[in-house]
Amino acid sequence: MTLPALLEQARRAWPDRCALIDADSGRRYGFPELVDEVFAFSRRLLAACDTRPGDRIALLGDATPDFLFADYGVMSAGRVRVSLDPALDPAEQLAQLRDAGAKVLLYCPSHADRVQALRPDLAACGVEARPLDSLADAAGSVPPDAPPPVCCEPDWVAALNYTGGTTGLPKAVVHTHGSYCAALHNIIAARAPWTGDRMLNVRPLWPIAAISLLAHLLQGGTLILGAHFEPRRFLDLVARYRPTCTSLVPTHLVRILRVLSGERAGLDSLSCIEIGAAAMPPELFEQAVAAFGPVFSVIYGLTEAPWTCYRPPPAASELLADPAGTLGLVGPTTDRADIAIGDGQAPLPPGTVGEVLIRGAHVMRGYWNQPGLTAAVLDDGWFHTGDLGCLDDQGRLRIQGRAKAIIRTGGKSVQPAEVEQVLCSHPSILEAAVVGIADPEWGEIVAAAVVARPGTHPGGDELAAFCRERLSAHKRPKRLVFMDALPRSHYGKVLTRKIQDAIAARQD
């Protein structure tokens, strides 16, 4: 199966339903109109740009209908979609374009100034930069119900998704039409039947969010594109469109709760709020459930293996009593995903902590042009995630931390999550991130960045005394800095490298 084939199925299955609402303009698209727009973009791309199947087409834009049509349209044309994160600085974007070997960069008007500044460098590496609307008349009039212009195959590469994780340089995850279709099957099987339901999206469409939204469309649901996230605007959109589901990251929830009044007026339409990426502290989860009700579902996956585990809303309330703290139960596997806990030699029995291994058709093909890195994480069909976890007797996965995040200091191992949990138990600390810093004597030393609760002013000596009472000597932070907020990616993951750089800078 391929993405354009699934879009054709949706066009036939839901001819009279509303597929898409643009919250900014109020414009509505039915399923036939949405698919026509996607395939028309594919034809315009082929007419306007001299490309071949497998060529990389980069996209830089916002969560608008035109960007969504382009996202699906590039892949439906048999080209490889490379979505760029608008929040990256120009040098990082240029590095990704070079690494991908992109032939064309298509961009939304809001990013024209950025692209203009990059034009000399883009020209030097052979990238043709064009605004999305420059393709408008490239293929002339495209008749309704036209098929996709290219017959894609399941093993064709569909997308390169750049991910730097939280510790290293960016790398591109390769997904094929087949792996994306397997991920779509897993999403649809995990979610309740949402035919006719409305999903509000306030997240960027890169690098893989557009695929999760496509799963909602393939169930006959209506997608409301809310463009950028702003907490009061989110609440206004919920009141106006009465969505039944949405997807947020913990950072969004924190900001919504800051502006939310005590009443749930206008929020009762939401029956499912999907939460993925960063783990939610128990206190935040309790506040969110008090505000929205027990409507939270938990997703576990990585760009390399999206939507591997899913806990639906009825079970999410159990997390309130979860004694494991911030990293807890993420649920059973989705339909076509397998999980094993390994130590590098053989699967470990239930209850034993080890590295989380994932297998399934939804797993990436590998990393773009990095065979050594691919071989290091893909072994006999199993993807080595770098996450630590264990399976219970029911086959449910509990995440315990990151194997790669373990700090080795003076011959001993320190799990950052344990130190973070102690720091966050201090009444004046809102959140903490613990990292390893290279040290000539110890190999690494334990260092921490903390954020104080509003109105409090804890001191370093106070926190050091607090840790002495609760942590062994080798686990206590030897360096500690206060920050206004922890640096995070859009998905809410703490950016370890930036914290290490900040701690090192303050020591210099």
SS3 (DSSP) at 112: helix
Domains along the sequence of the chain with CATH? 3-11+26-176 (3.40.50.980), 229-403 (3.40.50.12780), 406-507 (3.30.300.30)
Report pLDDT for 165.
46
Report pLDDT for 326.
40
**DSSP string for residues in 438-475:** EETTTEEEEEEEEEEPTT----HHHHHHHHHTTS-GGG
Q: Measure the CA–CA gap between 132 and 119, rounded to whole angstroms.
A: 16
Cα distances from 221 to residues 42, 231, 306, 401, in angstroms, run 24, 24, 21, 35
Report pLDDT for 279.
59
Report pLDDT for 206.
81
Q: Measure the CA–CA gap between 160 and 124, rounded to whole angstroms.
A: 22
How is residue 154 written in tokens? Answer: 């399941």
291 and 264 in contact (C-beta within 8 Å)? yes
pTM of the model: 0.84
225 bridge partner residues: 22, 201
Helix H or strand E encompassing 291: helix 282-292
* Residue 418 backbone dihedrals phi, psi, to 5 degrees: -65, -45
How is residue 383 written in tokens? Answer: 């993807």
Report pLDDT for 168.
46
How is residue 159 written in tokens? Answer: 């997308």
Q: What is the pLDDT along the chain (508 residues), one digit of tens a residue?
A: 999 999 999 999 999 999 999 999 999 999 999 999 999 999 999 999 999 999 999 999 999 999 999 999 999 999 999 999 887 778 888 989 999 999 999 999 999 999 999 999 999 999 999 999 999 888 788 888 999 999 999 999 999 999 854 444 668 999 999 999 999 999 999 887 666 799 999 988 887 888 999 999 999 999 999 988 999 999 999 999 999 999 988 778 888 988 887 656 678 899 999 887 455 666 777 788 888 888 888 888 888 999 999 888 865 555 555 545 444 678 889 999 999 998 666 778 888 988 999 999 999 999 999 999 999 999 999 999 988 889 988 888 988 877 777 888 876 778 888 899 899 999 999 999 999 998 877 878 999 999 999 999 999 999 999 999 988 888 999 999 999 999 887 667 788 888 998 898 887 5
Q: Measure the CA–CA gap between 274 and 297, rounded to whole angstroms.
A: 5
SS3 (DSSP) at 68: helix
Report pLDDT for 275.
84
Alpha helix stretches (DSSP H) within 157-218: 177-190, 209-218
Q: Which of 243, 239, 184, 242 is nearest to 216 (CA)?
A: 184
SS3 (DSSP) at 130: strand
CA end-to-end span of the chain: 55
Residue 187: how many CA atoms within 13 Å on its side-chain side?
A: 25
What is the residue whose two structure tokens read 């002339």?
A: 140
